[in-house]
A = this chain, B = another copy of it.
């Protein structure tokens, strides 16, 4: 039985009879092929990437597993439509906190129509993309069992200023209320979620090392999705922290040139996260992770 995913924060959503992705109970994510060649471009990317022997395994783990394409009943009732079948690495988590960061100061690609380029150019300047080299596309932060999730409206998210982005990246790893703008985020989980050898920063740096060298693909308008489970981190299970790349509808051939647009934006995000970690260390308010051996029972990995 296919159903609408609970934890989607960006992109088209299959709600109210609209076309959007679906999930099953076996950990698979079904994404309808987008129109105007974007869907087929994404299939081409996954097909090429899956079979490319030049991709190291430690880089491959940042990408969702690709199971091919499948004709399934579309969420908008328009009949059978081709869908990408991908690993669902979000729904396997209980109450995941997640943030979708679209990387790059530029989200257009040279082969696009002039109209498309101008629309992207405008949006890149209106959001933080041009200034910061990335923009937050969506997020949900799990507050507590009682109050559930803080999931700001997409329109609000796209209006984030540089300072909002800095604040939200701190809220993402804080124990106190995110919705209340009067509360200073405590960054209590920064050292566990962002820091450490398996934390988000280490994973982003590993990804960056590859981007300094790889000239196979240009990941235009692609997102870094950062996921963790707050309840698991409180229990001491830091292995629940995941970084994945998603949305490859605009991936282009690199043609021997590095993806300087993605690399620059990724380095900027790394700097933002490093600074949160540094200031947390200095203030010494960081969360002391319980010294136990609990396995990460809330996530599949």
Contact = CB atoms under 8 A, between A and B. Distances in A.
A299 interface: no
Interface string A107-127: 000100000000001000100
B268 A132 contact: no
Q: Residue among A131, A215, A268 with the most chain B CB within 10 A?
A: A268
A226 to B, nearest CB: 18
A154 interface: no
Contacts of A271: 212-213, 215, 257-258
A50 B217 CA distance: 41
Q: By CB atoms of chain B within 10 A, which of A106, A213, A258 has the most?
A: A258
Nearest to A125: B110
A168 to B, nearest CB: 15
Interface residues of A, number: 25
Copies in the complex: 2
Given A105-B106, A110-B130, A110-B131, A267 B260 contact: yes
A222 to B, nearest CB: 15
B162 A257 contact: yes
Interface in A248-297: 255-258, 260-261, 263-265, 267-268, 271
Interface in A19-68: none
Interface string A223-256: 0000000000000000000000000000000011
A266 to B, nearest CB: 9
Contacts of A133: 257-258, 260-261, 264
A260 B212 contact: no
B258 A162 contact: no
Contact of A260 (B121, B125, B162, B265): B265
B260 A105 contact: yes
Given A106-B105, A265-B260, A255 B212 contact: no
A286 to B, nearest CB: 22
A264 to B, nearest CB: 3
A215 B131 CA distance: 12
A259 to B, nearest CB: 8
A260 B121 CA distance: 17
28 contacts: A105-B105, A105-B106, A106-B130, A110-B125, A110-B131, A121-B121, A131-B257, A132-B257, A132-B260, A133-B257, A133-B260, A133-B264, A162-B255, A162-B256, A162-B257, A212-B267, A212-B271, A215-B271, A257-B268, A258-B267, A258-B271, A260-B265, A260-B267, A263-B263, A263-B267, A264-B264, A264-B265, A264-B267
- 7 interchain residue pairs of minimum CB distance: A264-B264, A260-B264, A133-B260, A260-B268, A258-B271, A263-B264, A258-B268
Interface of A: 105-106, 110, 121, 125, 130-133, 162, 212-213, 215, 255-258, 260-261, 263-265, 267-268, 271
